[in-house]
Copies of this chain bind each other. A is one copy, B any other.
């Protein structure tokens, strides 16, 4: 398969993010500027009350993207004019927004880290005014990207070392597709079909041809000849437009023993993989690989474990989170100062959506074998760990300035390494495909 990895100048424009915001955040801002409470210090926390049904762990993703977005969270003339002419907020609030620049602190789980129910995956501290209007944007990024990475992680486990290729762009929003490619690579995918993801994040992109290319030509042979002439014999030929056996023979006839791969995109993939492998070997093409790409999910990948398949292309199920398209994280005020400047823990009292108030700290408790035992969440102060326990909160923003290393292509590479290490540390049950409970419990330690 033709593949490319960008080693050139990366694209780091801060996206314009300030209107990825719900109307109510700006009206709350207005009312709290009016009451004066807007200037109280506030601690907001992002967490998920639960994992998607049956999942054993989740994967935090999107952190690098959201940090780039916080930098770009400014209200320019276009946004201000819109808010003014529609009357969303009053003049005092418009003036505040015109000068808006996040000046607080952000901590959180490193991108790629595993998370569990109630893990404090992101903590934002600033004035209420500054932190409250980031709610929707931060949640959008984390909920989407974490859902994709959580699904992708299970797929790479199922693939057990064989490369997975992300190719779901067409089945999701065009910008979600770019973020999904990025999240998939964080969770161990080898490459993506998405070119914008290649440009923005330096991801390896791959692809050769679709059925339309074969149908465009007067015969399959002419199509294969054109492709091999243009891309060389190392290309991947799609062999299921007409008759698979005839196509494999034609492909080998044209490209010879250096044919890179054949791709199967329909039918009984397990059966086909076996006889196509035998046929390729008989024809002398022992190094020609087999790529399969037909509506795969983690279960289909696992079912192909014993088949002679070399790589998996995954589309729809990846970009839709394989049944869990959102991570359902929430952004809750857990602490704020009173008139004396003293922090007070706060929480909604409603019984069916209970939240633990107070600033959180988190450790992953590890056993003597180095495997995780529990997620320890300290309320109000850092929990005491023993020597093995691993602190989970990293600082991403300090006094409004990004801490370097979390964004751009560098952030993706670090996240990928973090994901691999985090997964290696989980108990073996984390790698099971069937439904189960979170693989470690979350334990609150109150101060």
Contact = CB atoms under 8 A, between A and B. Distances in A.
B209 A28 contact: yes
A140 interface: yes
A79 interface: yes
A371 to B, nearest CB: 33
Given A17-B174, A172-B176, A24 B207 contact: yes
Given A82-B198, A243-B349, A170 B136 contact: yes
B140 A193 contact: no
Contacts of A4: 23, 86-88
Q: Which of A25, A90, A169, A170 has the most B CB atoms < 10 Å from its CB?
A: A170
Stoichiometry, copies per complex: 2
Contacts of A143: 170-172
Given A85-B6, A326-B171, A22 B194 contact: yes
A78 interface: yes
A31 interface: yes
Interface stretch (A32-40, A275-283, A385-393, A439-447): A32-40
Interface stretch (A101-109, A221-229, A358-366): A221-229
A410 to B, nearest CB: 18
Interface stretch (A212-220, A297-305, A415-423): A212-220
A174 B140 contact: yes
Contact of A171 (B139, B194, B196, B210): B139
Interface stretch (A331-339, A374-382, A428-436): A331-339
Nearest to A213: B28
B241 A207 contact: no
Interface string A187-203: 00000011110110000
A139 B170 contact: yes
Contacts of A83: 195
Contacts of A44: 212
Contacts of A266: 350, 352-353
29 contacts: A4-B87, A5-B86, A8-B86, A19-B198, A20-B174, A22-B207, A24-B193, A26-B195, A27-B208, A30-B231, A34-B226, A35-B229, A40-B216, A88-B195, A88-B198, A88-B205, A135-B170, A139-B171, A143-B170, A172-B176, A173-B175, A212-B332, A215-B336, A218-B339, A240-B348, A243-B349, A266-B353, A267-B352, A320-B326
